[in-house]
Structure formats: C-alpha cells, structure tokens
Amino acid sequence: MMKMKNSFYVTTPIYYPSGKFHIGTAYTEVLADTIKRYKQLRGYDAYMLTGLDEHGQKIQTIAESKGLTPQEYVNQMAENAKKVWSLMDIKYDDFIRTTDERHEKVVQKIVNKFIENNDIYKGEYEGWYCMPCETYFTETQLVDGKCPDCGREVKKMTEESYFFNMKKYQDRLIKFYEENPGFIQPEFRRNEIFGNFIKPGLEDLCISRTTFDWGIKMPNDPKHVLYVWVDALTNYITALGYMSDDDTLFKKYWPADLHIVGKDIIRFHGIYWPIFLMALGLELPKEIYAHGYIVVKDGKMSKSKGNVVYPEMLVNRYGLDATKYYLLREMTFGQDCLFTPEAFVERFNSDLANDLGNLLNRTIGMMNKYFDGVIQGKNDNENEIDKALKDYTNEQISKIEQLFDTYHLSNSLAEIWAIISRTNKYIDETMPWILAKEENKERLATVMYNLAESLRKTAILITPILPETANKMFTQLGITKPELKTWESLKNNSVEAGTKVIDKGEPLFVRLEKDEEIEYIKSNMN
Ligand code: ME8
C-alpha cells in the first residue's frame, strides 16, 4: 500500500518532561494543531503526533531528587502534559512516550538493522564531564569553562561508546538537499545547515553511554544505553507501527508531510534523521519547519529568573482563542518573538475586541434594528462599493489559502484581519444609518447582506485557528447549515435570505482594562 494522496502527517518534537511546559512548547503544539485543523478543513485525512522524550540522565536525576523512580516521575509528567494539551484543545491523534513498550522494542530492532548494515562501530567518546550533574558537555557548550547547568568544574573524560557512521551517507545527503531545496523551512535555516554543517563534512554521531542506565539498552551490548537521538527521532515512525505487527498507520501516513520543530533541534532533524531513514531504506519526510523562539524582555524564559509564562495562566484568564491568537499572530515565520504583557493586552483589545468583536456586534445590532434580525435577499444591483468589497475579499482568500498552505500562519491572520478592516470600511462607505433615515430599504438590505457574507467568510477563515470564536460567529449570524461553513463555500455558497440572526449579540471579546491586566500578567510570570 502506498501512502494515500489525501493523507497528511504532522508531528511535533517529543519534549523532555523536565518541568512544566511554558508558552514556547505550547506554541509548537498550537501550530501543529492548527495546521492539522486546516488540512482537515481542506479535506485531508490529517494525523497529528506528539509525545514525550522520557529517557536520559537529566530525567533520572530529577526523579531521584523527588524521591521517585524515573518511571514514576515520567508517568506523572505524561499525565500533566496531557492535561495542558487538553486545556488547549490540542487534537493530537497519538501521544508517544519513549518508555512505551511499542517504542522500545522497535528502537532495538532499528539498532539491530543499523548493526547489520555496518552503520555502527565502537569507539571512544571524549567530552567535558560534570560529576554532580553526571553529564557530558562539548567544549562549546561550556560557560566560562564550567558546567552550563550548575556552574561547577568539569573534567575531560573518555568512555567507550558506539558511533553511527554519518560520513558514509554524506554524499547522498548532499544530493538530497540539492534536489529538494524546500526540505527545510525557512530557507535561511536550510542554507545554514547545508552550508555550515553538511557541506564542510559530517562528524560521526555518538549514540550510546555507559554512565547512566535510564534508557533503551543497546541490543548487542546491554551495558550501553542509547543516548538521545536514535531513541528520540525514531518516535515518528515507531508511533505509526513501523516494524511492528500492525503497520497500517505507517503505510498510510509515512513519509511525514511536516515535522514541526523549534530552531534548537533543526540540525538533528535536518541531518541525523534523514540519514537514519536512508540507513533504514525509508522515504524522507517532505518538509521540516523550524520555528523561532519565544523570548521575554530579559532573554530566555527560565525558572531561575522567574520570568516564565505558562499557558494555563493565559488560557484561564483570557480564554483559549485569545491565547492562540496572540501566539500565532506574534510569531512570524521562522523568527523569534518577544512576549510582552503590553503586546498581549494590546492585541486582545485592538484586534479581537475592537476590530473583530465590534464588527460582528455592530452588524448584528443593525440587522435587528432595521430588519428584526432577518437577513433579506440582495434587493439591489451590486454597485461599485459592493464590488470593491467582494473583489478585495476574493483576492484576500486566495492569498490566505496560499499562506496557510505554506504554514505562514501569522501572515494569514494579518490578511484575515485586513478583510475585517475592509469590512469595517465598507460600513463607513455605505453609511447604513443614512440609508435607514432615507428609508432606502432595498439598498439597506443589500448592505446588510454583504456584511453578513463577509462575516461568514471571516468565520470560515479563522476556523482552523480560533474554532471557538468561529462557532460563536456562526451562531450569532444564525448560520447552521454545515455546507455554509466549509472552505469550498468561500467560493460557491452564500448566506441565505431569511436567515435569522441572534436577537442580542454577546461580545466575542470583552475589552480588557489595560493597566490592570498588564500588571496581572507580569505578576504571574514566575
Ligand atoms: O529538544 N519558544 O526537547 P525539549 C518556542 N526531546 N518553542 C520552544 C521554546 C521557546 N522558548 N522552548 C522550547 C527536545 N520550545 C528533544 C526533542 S524530538 C525527536 C526530541 C519547543 O523539551 C520547540 O519546539 O527541549 C523546541 O524545539 C522544543 O520545545 C524542545 O523541547
């Protein structure tokens, strides 16, 4: 069986369960979830995978410090992760944990295959070792020659390790990059990886350790445990049942259409992952997208600085859609984004409460006032002003579609909001209150109709991003038929005459008291 044409497989990184997730991790989830929802709306059979990377020295140490076994600790963390993703309505299809038996068993089979292929050899690993943290660092990871985690002295040490022979695949990887220029997005990241890391020559990768035991054992030499990347990256295929008794999902969804990662791990995904797949004789993913980092005023979010923004705080106070709107709107393609409480409140008030919320509210108000809430048919010939709105909206829709297709979600939101502004301008141009005074009911009905239609289209366009808000809009507009909510209906259908809007519209977003809320967010960053 070949991967089905209309299937779409999107993945997130599997995160280390080393603490509570902040809005950076939440952003990755929201992005993947939104892309999945968009693909579904476009008729794809979309499948989203997320999960946790549960092995390693660091997890073992944290667990011990809490008086738990590593397994007990990661079990708790997996529950916590699922709770946050549920609060954020993340519609993942599977949650893989590297401690799952289905993963561990297949990883060992994969390593055996590497061994049979002569891809792995035994060598010596040399690095800077921090005794208290029991962790190796490379020269460049050290901070002033000391441990980057605890600041204490490090010692140069060597230990026996297994290595993956990356050099063997170098030429094939170069060829692949040359033939698939869009493989890594954005392009500047692709150029960075290709130019700075692949072209100058690959280093073989150390894949095992003997200094700790919380990991998957090397099948040929159980005093070694696999160290990080073979264990972690393969989650994308073990979760689909690769090399297991039931590989239906693997056949249906592999190769992945999109791996979403942060910029910190694009190198591993852009180099090691394709090479592991080549070694297994599997197809490579179609695209890997590296997004930027969310940072705060004093740099990286960190518990020790007490400047971490947690998604629960924002969602519980401002709602899920407002939180998602901020994250997706502020994070432009591939770039870092500075989180500030000021910008959060500003976006909420100006874009959500004012531009979108007021447009809907004003329109519903006028419809009730002038036509007892019933949308009339178009009773007037289309004039220049109507045509300008319609043409503009149609052009915007094509633009937005293309932006969604290339995962430029911030830009697509900006273009959706341009439709909203244009529709607000349409009200100023047509001046319905004057038409009402003149008792020009025919013209007034047409204007109301065009407003309803513009709002319907806006609701469809925001459906993958702000589904709750989209639904509220449909409800207030009295649009119930599913065929008027589909992406196709952006082109073909329109609101029906006789549709009854809600009597009194509830505001979609209630304006925030600026200073108070800025203070609230600041005092809840910790
Ligand atoms: O690297 N802004 O796990 P991890 C945006 N287990 N995104 C952020 C972020 C920030 N400030 N901080 C973290 C690992 N992220 C490995 C991955 S995958 C096979 C193995 C997100 O817990 C972003 O997606 O360090 C980043 O790539 C990921 O969390 C790193 O998570």
Inter-CA distances, 196 with 189, 267, 278, 379, 436, Å: 10, 10, 21, 64, 66
CATH topology of domain 7-291: Rossmann fold (3.40.50)
Q: Is the peptide bond before 464 cis (omega within 30 degrees of 0)?
A: no
Give CB contacts under 8 A, 24+ apart, made by 60-69: 60/212, 60/214, 61/133, 61/134, 62/18
Is 385 buried (19+), middle (13-18) or exposed (0-12) by CB count in 10 A? middle
pLDDT tens sequence across 5-34: 799 999 999 999 999 999 999 999 999 999
User: Which residue, chain included where needed, has tokens 């006789």?
Assistant: 498
The Cα–Cα gap between 258 and 112 comes to: 27
User: Which residue, chain included where needed, has tokens 């925030």?
Assistant: 512
Taking all residues of the chain, what is their mean pLDDT, rounded to a whole number?
Answer: 95
pLDDT tens sequence across 252-294: 999 999 999 999 999 999 999 999 999 999 999 999 999 999 9
Ligand 1 neighbourhood includes 26 CB (under 6 angstroms): no
Averaged pLDDT for residues 231-251: 98
Atom of ligand 1 at shortest range from CA of 28: 24
The Cα–Cα gap between 232 and 227 comes to: 9
Q: Does position 1 have pLDDT exceeding 60, yes or no?
A: no
Least confident range from 203-217, 316-330, 372-386: namely 372-386
Averaged pLDDT for residues 163-186: 97
Cross-strand bridge partners of residue 125: 159
Nearest CA to ligand 1 atom 8: 24
The Cα–Cα gap between 39 and 24 comes to: 23
pLDDT tens sequence across 89-125: 999 999 999 999 999 999 999 999 999 999 999 999 8
Ligand 1 neighbourhood includes 25 CB (under 6 angstroms): yes
User: Other C-beta atoms within 10 Å of 390: how many?
Assistant: 15
Nearest CA to ligand 1 atom 24: 262
Least confident range from 376-380, 406-410, 415-419, 501-505: namely 376-380
93: Cα within 13 Å, side-chain hemisphere = 18
Distance 25 CA to ligand 1 centre (A): 6
Which tokens belong to 13?
């990184």
pLDDT tens sequence across 40-74: 999 999 999 999 999 998 899 999 999 999 999 99
Q: Residue 164: which H helix or E strand, with range?
A: strand 155-164
Nearest CA to ligand 1 atom 9: 24
- pLDDT in the model for residue 129: 86
Tell me if 211 sits within 8 A of 161, measured CB to CB: no
When pLDDT is cut at 50, 70 and 90, the band that residue 325 belongs to is very high
Q: Is the pTM of this model over 0.85?
A: yes
Ligand 1 neighbourhood includes 59 CB (under 6 angstroms): no
Say which DSSP state 145 is in.
T
Say which DSSP state 123 is in.
E
Ligand 1 neighbourhood includes 13 CB (under 6 angstroms): yes
Distance 318 CA to ligand 1 centre (A): 25
Answer whether 7-291 and 341-491 agree in fold. no
- Structural domain boundaries in the chain: 7-291, 341-491
pLDDT tens sequence across 429-458: 999 999 999 999 999 999 999 999 999 999
Atom of ligand 1 at shortest range from CA of 53: 6
* Homologous superfamily, domain 341-491: Isoleucyl-tRNA Synthetase; Domain 1 (1.10.730.10)
Q: Does position 135 have pLDDT exceeding 80, yes or no?
A: no
SS3 of residue 246 by DSSP:
coil
Helix 70-87 and helix 311-318, axial crossing angle in degrees, nearest 10 = 30
Ligand 1 neighbourhood includes 27 CB (under 6 angstroms): yes
The number of angstroms, rounded, from the C-alpha of 471 to the middle of its chain's C-alpha atoms is 22
CA angle 202, 128, 68 (to 5 degrees): 105
162: Cα within 13 Å, side-chain hemisphere = 26
Nearest CA to ligand 1 atom 27: 262
Q: Does position 339 have pLDDT exceeding 60, yes or no?
A: yes
Strand pairing category for 7-15 and 94-97: unpaired
The Cα–Cα gap between 330 and 310 comes to: 17
Averaged pLDDT for residues 384-407: 97
